[in-house]
Amino acid sequence: MKNEDTENIGLEEGSVQSSSKSSTQKPHYFGHRDRLREKFLQSGKDALAEYELLEMILYRCIRQGDTKPLAKQLIAEFGSLAGVLAAPSSRLIEVKGVGNTIIADLKLIHAAGLSLALDAIKQRPLLSSWSKVLEYSRAVMAFEEKEIFRILFLDKKNQLIKDEVQQTGTVDHTPVYPREVAKRALELGATAIVLAHNHPSGDPTPSRADIEMTKTIMNVLSPLGVTVHDHVIVGRDGHVSLKGLQLI
């Protein structure tokens, strides 16, 4: 509640400052929003730093005043624009100046981004769009604070049937039950799957348990005619493919 109040006070203070300044003593950020919008419209996102993109997102909630300090603070706290958008609400609310209105807007944009990423791998063979699969996996899991184990179920054309969270674990472990994986694959009529999970530590290097669990799932699914194409592990520092590393 305190941060929500801070957000509202920021609006009031911005309007007071702008009205109290004389025409020769305009705020240092006077006209900045228009210049930034024009730069974005003319040159696209690559012409802007991440904090500048976040500034523009914050314009929607903070109608007056300078949003640059808050944007830079959020980037510093969460490491990147993607980290800010994916950050848990419980951590965002701890940042001074961030209230429920800003959090809702950030989460809305994050949800829209995930929808776009998922759409990029629908209705096409996943193995021919592998870079999009990796992008989606990173977008949906890389910044999570707990391990999440996902499965992408594929049909005989290797097109996506369904993307599901199979299990959610702790900061360094996710329980996975091969029989449950097999049961769900048969329910959906899948002929292949892609396994994916995250490492909240940021380092995507597979553990021995990751490798052994993958081989166990492959052994359970093989007699059922279901192929495990790969197991992707993602983290803030990158991603790895067990198949690419020749570990499966």
3-state secondary structure (DSSP) of residue 230 = strand
Flag whether the pTM goes above 0.85. no
pLDDT tens-digit series, residues 51-107: 999 999 999 888 888 899 999 999 999 989 999 998 999 999 999 999 999 999 999
Residues 6+ apart with CB under 8 A from 241: 230, 231, 232
| Predicted confidence (pLDDT) per residue in 28-62, tens digit | 566 688 888 888 888 888 889 999 999 999 998 88
Residue 172 has a pLDDT of 75
Residue ranges of domains in the chain, CATH in brackets:
2-114 (no CATH), 126-241 (3.40.140.10)
How would DSSP label each residue in 148-198?
A: EEEEEEE-TTS-EEEEEEEEE--SS-----HHHHHHHHHHHT-SEEEEEEE
- Summarised one tens digit per residue, pLDDT across range 104-121 is 999 999 999 888 888 888
**Cβ(188)–Cβ(153) below 8 Å:** yes
The pLDDT assigned to 16 comes to 36
